[in-house]
Structure 1
Amino acid sequence: MIALVALALLLASTAAAIGQLRAIPPTFARAGLWIGEVERGEMVREVQGNGTLIPERVQWVTALSAVRIEKIFVRPGATVEADTLLLQLGNPDLEIQTLEAERQVAAARTVLATMRVTLTSEVLGLEIALALLRGDEAKARRKADRDTTLSERGYLASDDAHAARAELTTLDARLKLERRRLATLRGGVKERLAAQAAELARLETIAAARREQLAALQVRAGVDGVVQELPLEPGQWVNPGALLAKIAQPDRLKAQLAIPETQIKDVVVGLPAKIDTRDGLVDGEVTRIAPAASKGAVTVDVRLHGPLPRGARPDLNIAGTVELERIPDVLYVRKPAFVQPDSMMAVLREDDDGAHATRTNVQFGRVSASTVEVIAGLREGDRIILSDLSKTADDADRIALE
């Protein structure tokens, strides 16, 4: 009996001790907490994203034919001008092809010139023959008219008059045929010369392309800028279209930000932005939004206004914010951990004595990159714990501050 009473007393004291422990709130050092104060005023709603600076203008230098890298005169990072020699390429077959193309052009020019002389001579010969035939036809016509008159007067036999008229008819027929022949020859001359001229133009185009390919064996920058890429080594063979060099103009950079796809819905072209290059801030404007998301983010291009900080260069890592709107006269506070837009959330609000914080339900509204709108549950001047205490005080309705 005495043992049972002792056990009951022990259990009662243990329960009382546990109750007292539960009544003691967990204690946190104020210096280790992130605390925000509710303010009233204009709230700037914005979204953030990381990204890089990229050149607005890039010159891609590619191979026009299969070539071997013989010499490399510059390396990535070098400043170049438009006529700076970057590479010396080699292709013996291309030199032979260029010579053959030039030979074919010269041969085609000779053929065209010879054809023009020959056909012109043929036309002239036919025109001379036609002129002689017209003279014969005129003589025959005069003779036929004279013989007809003499025959009618009885001075010449009718058979002779008929013979003269028959000869005139034959010459008329020959004259018509020769005229048709001359017209056909002239038309044929134009067609044959046009065909040969077209063949010459085709061969000249091929030769020009070969010369261009041969000249391209000396690769020049083409623009003033900085060499960004030159992924080659001497002796290496590259195929037509392969990248030889990438040259950027460093004075014309734009920012490319990756905005989380959950925050992109309100971003539109024309919104103001601010880019942090780690060496300074630069104002900008959204100029392009990618049509599709990639890896949970949407790419946004920002045109930069004003001079860039001294350390700005292509591929520099940056951070940027895009301003969505300015909301006047609202309650807002720095964003607590895990807050969602238009949601009810329990937060720890600092008591008036400053020594404790009590869990309070708060209705939040619109969310920005660093702040959130307060709809209900807090007043201006209230202070709340912004730090994530879910692992240490998730079930505590009250904590102590020291």
Structure 2
Amino acid sequence: KVKQGSMLRQVRGLGALVPEDIRFIPATTQGRVEKILVRPGAVVTKDTVLIILSNLELEQTVQDVDLQLKGAQAEYANLRVKLESQKLDQRAVAASVQADYSQAKLQAEANEELYKKGLLSELQYKLAKTKAEELSTRCGIEKERIAISFESTEAQLATQQAKIDQLQALYQLRQNLLNSLNVRAGSDGVLQQLSVEVGQQVTLGTNLARVANPSHLKAELKIAETQAKDILLGQNASIDTRNGIITGRVSRIDPAVLQGTVTVDVLLTGELPKGARPDLSVDGTIELENLTNILYVGRPVHGQTNSTIGIFKLDSTGKEAFRVTVKLGRSSVNTIEVLEGLSVDDQVILSDMSAWDVYNRIRLN
């Protein structure tokens, strides 16, 4: 029956509930699958070990680097003791020279007094003075040698420490790779997929598992490309899970067309009903616009947007129907706008009447 008033334009598509937070877990090193501890469907935490891998070569590498690191640390300790010993020897030499210089200086000063009084020859005076000057020079040289030795010690220790730091970083890297042989979930959620079996050899980057958070779901709908052109971000939607209706809004529209459909993501704003889980099949309806004060009718089998079709309209008796040409406009899921050919309260046949295409008038039983 043709009506006049408001018509809510909608498009419908099938789809599934998809987790918003999905974590794919790759292999960070090559290895062999030794054990699978958790199977898909299990609830996991970020620290849950899912798979245990083995890599004998990596284990040997970690041991080798560990030995190199310990050797470098021992070498650093030995070098520090050796350099400290050398510094003590140099200080002892410097102290001895300083003592000799002090003694020679006092002797030279005493000889100078004796020389001035004529009690000492000039030669003896000059010899004492020269010895004091020589020891003064040696004392200065020993002080410089100690300063240079200190700088040399710092440089040698810094070089050895740099070697230790490099080996520590390498050891930590190898140890992290070794720890990663115990493959963990990395986030809280549900294990959705395991892509390996026991005994399988995996390479770096191989996808091992998938973990998703089942409490944060979105609907991923497939909308026919002919109906997707009017879909906009933010439009209201409703998702039927067969166990309840969830409200939502359009959050993403895929720019590509795949097999005649466009993927539309719906962010769920309502409470999830019981049984809602990832990959659950759903039926989604998106509200495009609300048309007011228009003629509309139930959507005929072959009624397409902005098309002209022949349709059977019932006469006043309701016992016969005759074909009329109807121009259609904008469509919704179950209704379509009538532009020409019908009036308010007209009754028409919406079912498939292609078997009577050759007739313009039919009698109804």
Task: Output the TM-score relative to the length of structure 1.
Answer: 0.74
* Equivalent-residue separation in structure 2 for 1:338 and 1:136 (angstroms): 120
Q: Aligned to 1:383, what secondary structure does the other structure show? A: coil
Query: Secondary structure of the equivalent of 1:293?
Result: strand
Q: 2:360 matched to 1:401? A: no
What per-residue deviation string (whole Å, max 9, x for no partner) do you get for residues 352-402 of structure 1? 222233333333322223322223332222222323334x23343333322
SS of the counterpart of 1:292?
strand
Q: Residue 302 and residue 121 in structure 1: after superposition, are their counterparts in 2 closer, same or farther (change >3 A)?
A: farther
- 1:263-274 equivalences in 2 (<5 Å): 263-274=227-238
State the one-letter code of the partner of 2:19: P
Alignment of structure 1 residues 321-340 onto 2, 5 Å: 321-340=285-304
2:343 and 2:158 mapped to 1: Cα distance? 91
What does the per-residue CA deviation read over 1:264-301, in whole Å, with 9 as the maximum and x for residues that have no partner?
33323322211112222211122222343333322222
Supply the distance in 2 between the matched residues of 1:288 and 1:131 (Cα, whole angstroms).
83
Are the structure 2 counterparts of residues 62 and 156 from structure 1 closer, same or farther at C-alpha, using a change threshold of 3 Å?
Answer: same
**Alignment identity in percent?**
40
* 1:145-224 matched pairs, under 5 angstroms: 168=133, 175=140, 179=144, 185-224=149-188
The one-letter code matched in structure 1 to 2:245 is L
Q: Distance in 2 between matches of 1:157 and 1:130?
A: 30
**Corresponding position of 1:242:** 206
Conservation of the 8 A alpha-carbon contact between 1:144 and 1:168: no
Task: State the distance in 2 between where 1:293 and 1:142 align.
Answer: 104
Alignment of 1:77-96 (within 5 A): 77-96=41-60
Q: Distance in 2 between matches of 1:398 and 1:148?
A: 151
Query: How far is 1:320 from its partner?
Result: 0.9
Q: Distance in 2 between matches of 1:332 and 1:131?
A: 113
- Residues 72-109 of structure 1 show CA distances to partners (whole Å, capped at 9, x for unaligned) of 33322334445544333333333322222221221122
- Kept in 2, the 8 Å contact 1:136–1:171? The answer is no
1:105 corresponds to 2:69: yes
Q: Where do 5+ consecutive residues of structure 2 fail to align?
A: none
Q: Distance in 2 between matches of 1:296 and 1:152?
A: 121
Please provide the CA RMSD for this pair.
Answer: 3.7
Q: 8 Å contact 2:237–2:284 — kept in the other structure?
A: yes
1:43 equivalent in alignment to 2:7: yes
Match of 1:227 in 2: 191
* Aligned residue number for residue 365 of structure 1: 329
Between 1:52-61 and 1:219-228, the stretch displaced more is 219-228
SS of the residue aligned with 2:258?
Answer: coil
Q: Following the alignment from structure 1 to structure 2, what is the Cα–Cα distance between the partners of residues 152 and 314?
A: 111
1:127-142 equivalences in 2 (<5 Å) = none
Does residue 287 of structure 1 match 2:251?
A: yes
**How far has the Cα of 1:170 moved from its partner?**
9.6
* 1:355 counterpart (316, 319, 334): 319
Is the 1:48–1:320 Cα contact (8 Å) retained in structure 2? yes
- Quick one: which amino acid aligns to residue 362 of structure 2? I
Q: CA deviation at 1:183?
A: 5.3
Structure 2: distance between partners of 1:127 and 1:308 = 81
Aligned length: 364
**Cα distance between partner residues in 2 of 1:39 and 1:193:** 94
Return the match for 1:277 from 210, 227, 241: 241
Q: Look up the SS of the partner of 1:102 in the other structure.
A: helix
Identify which of 305, 314, 337 aligns with 1:341.
305
In 1, Cα distance between the equivalents of 2:110 and 2:290?
113
Larger displacement relative to structure 2 (41-50 or 139-148): 139-148
1:378 aligns with 342
* 1:98/1:211 contact within 8 Å kept: yes
d(CA) in 1 for partners of 2:207, 2:254: 25
The amino acid across from 2:23 in the alignment is Q
